[in-house]
Structure 1
């Protein structure tokens, strides 16, 4: 190989490396979640959000997504963000009973009617509270699913039907509700819900509509309570050092993607996808939907009232004013046309 050839190769390599450096992101962030990569929350929520951040930063910020509990179990995601195991985590606060007593208000049944405007309302209400209740992470946005309901192997129509059954609850608040109704809670995160039903550990579960199909549970449950029951709200949370270490222009990009409007936009695609599962069940001969009467709906709402009372006591224990917090919560829902 001649000296001229070696020099030409060196120049080519230099140009290639320079081009790579010019195209490489200046900030690489890792985002972890716990649902399958095929779940609509990735394609309809997380991916568009991450791509928008990349575009808004002119390619400076790149977010790599790690789905399906690759970096840690679903209940660990808050601590993963806190401890810097990941830069961004998709966290369900309800997977840790008692840890976030104020936010658990959002998990009580019959509060919000939808996940789209509801997401914006929850964000507006909770963002200032997160500064203290979740002070060891940086709060970004809220992502509730379309209101879920009861799905079971045998019919559940009224609160008394829960007595004696083993129920997989969506979160700690729903677990408390099941216990109040005389049922037993089988607390497992969503990725493990099918196994609990299939093995007979659970007789029923609380889940949004289309996730019954997404997680392959449609062959395990036949009966469905046809009413908007409850929300389970996930969050995107940043590691504090990651966020604080961003350059001012990059921090602004993140701030612009951590707004009430982004909570709504992030939640819309998944909400629509979840609701589509209801029609699938209506059209299927293998599933039966039961729509409660007005009197039966009131029975459910009355049964849930003790959860509000318990929540108020829990908030008092951490020094909060439950009446003001609840009034602010209702006001945010009403302002966004999502109050139950």
Structure 2
């Protein structure tokens, strides 16, 4: 009887104790829109989750969903994380259009062709200028790709006049305006739909850095590549604020330590590595790769000055009254980065 009473008493005590360590594990869903073999997941997302999980000593676990999954739609990354369907997301600020007008000012033509500089500028101006666009979100990072090229399937582009009438896929409103001013006909398409539309002749070309050209198999349906370095495009790495707030102080600290200032400097080197296979594949296939001449670049810059001013006014008309100030702050941040990294610009 004594043993039985002791066992019952022990069971009662165990029932009152906190949940076991195994039950206290928090699993966070992280979504993005690229294949699992892409550098986004291999070099960035997977190591980040492993670092945070190890720091939390098993308190945090991650479930990653990319292209082909229910959470892999490129246009739904922001809404999914805001709704709590995913806890963390990586997405394009330009899709759907109009949600991040402040952030997307980094997409303006010839602001920079360097992912490191663009990423530095985004993070530098974020606290003072971009934060209002991320209500309900914990911003873990903002970044941008290297200068985009103009890729075409049947017609080589070397000068501005060659752009006239070409149907070119565009990733963001700012790039759409740029293409219009250069004489092209911008076509809004998610990255995953570019191959089919090129193959069918619905579009004549696309603007991308080298990385997506390889990731989406586009070298099979492209032939000409103009290295214009004319624009960049921005991305977000965000967490649902409520999901973050529910975590223990230890878990929050682990996420903070792996994000923001610790993460931002890595994107420049990552993009250089991600871009390399796309160019090498195009070269091996015998494609024509042309670099925009300095004289032609100056011509494009001059032609696009009215577009830049018009776009700033458009953003101001959408309620961002200090759009010009934000753009100037981005220019200053890019210049600051390039002065610190003269061999990279």
TM-score after normalising by structure 1 = 0.86
Q: Over residues 49-85 of structure 1, what are the superposed CA-to-partner deviations in whole Å (9 max), with x where a residue is unaligned?
A: 1111112222211121101052342111111111111
1:191 Cα offset (Å): 1.5
Aligned to 2:178: 177
Determine the C-alpha separation between the residues in 2 that align with 1:99 and 1:210. 25
1:323 to 1:177, Cα distance in 2 relative to 1, 3 A: closer
Structure 2 unaligned spans of 5+: 1-19
Does the CA contact (< 8 Å) of 1:101 and 1:311 recur in 2? no
Matches within 5 A, 1:242-253: 242-253=243-254
1:180 to 1:140, Cα distance in 2 relative to 1, 3 A: same
Determine the C-alpha separation between the residues in 2 that align with 1:245 and 1:162. 52
Aligned to 1:286: 286
Determine the C-alpha separation between the residues in 1 that align with 2:126 and 2:303. 26
Determine the C-alpha separation between the residues in 2 that align with 1:243 and 1:30. 12
Determine the C-alpha separation between the residues in 2 that align with 1:109 and 1:323. 15
Q: Over residues 192-241 of structure 1, what are the superposed CA-to-partner deviations in whole Å (9 max), with x where a residue is unaligned?
A: 11111111111010111132122111011110002322212211111121
1:234 to 1:271, Cα distance in 2 relative to 1, 3 A: farther
Aligned to 1:37: 36
Matches within 5 A, 1:311-322: 311-317=311-317, 318-322=319-323
Does the CA contact (< 8 Å) of 1:140 and 1:258 recur in 2? yes
Matches within 5 A, 1:145-184: 145-153=145-153, 154-184=155-185
Determine the C-alpha separation between the residues in 2 that align with 1:141 and 1:88. 11
1:187 Cα offset (Å): 1.2
Q: Over residues 16-51 of structure 1, what are the superposed CA-to-partner deviations in whole Å (9 max), with x where a residue is unaligned?
A: xxxxx6467722110111111121111011111111
The reply to whether residue 299 of structure 1 matches residue 278 of structure 2 is no
Determine the C-alpha separation between the residues in 1 that align with 2:23 and 2:120. 34
Aligned to 2:51: 52
Aligned to 2:308: 308
The reply to whether residue 83 of structure 1 matches residue 83 of structure 2 is yes
Determine the C-alpha separation between the residues in 1 that align with 2:189 and 2:37. 20
Matches within 5 A, 1:194-273: 194-266=195-267, 268-273=269-274
1:96 Cα offset (Å): 2.3
1:323 to 1:164, Cα distance in 2 relative to 1, 3 A: closer
SS of residue paired to 1:138: strand
1:274 to 1:127, Cα distance in 2 relative to 1, 3 A: farther
SS of residue paired to 2:295: helix
Structure 1 unaligned spans of 5+: 1-20
Determine the C-alpha separation between the residues in 2 that align with 1:223 and 1:24. 56
SS of residue paired to 2:45: helix
SS of residue paired to 1:77: helix
Aligned to 2:61: 62
TM-score after normalising by structure 2 = 0.85
SS of residue paired to 1:86: coil
1:259 Cα offset (Å): 1.1
Give RMSD over aligned pairs: 2.4
SS of residue paired to 2:188: coil
SS of residue paired to 2:263: helix
Determine the C-alpha separation between the residues in 2 that align with 1:274 and 1:167. 20
Aligned to 1:16: none
Paired residues, number: 321
1:276 to 1:304, Cα distance in 2 relative to 1, 3 A: farther
Determine the C-alpha separation between the residues in 2 that align with 1:293 and 1:315. 31
Q: Over residues 168-208 of structure 1, what are the superposed CA-to-partner deviations in whole Å (9 max), with x where a residue is unaligned?
A: 11222212222233322221111111111111111010111
SS of residue paired to 1:238: strand
1:167 Cα offset (Å): 0.6
Does the CA contact (< 8 Å) of 2:109 and 2:178 recur in 1? no
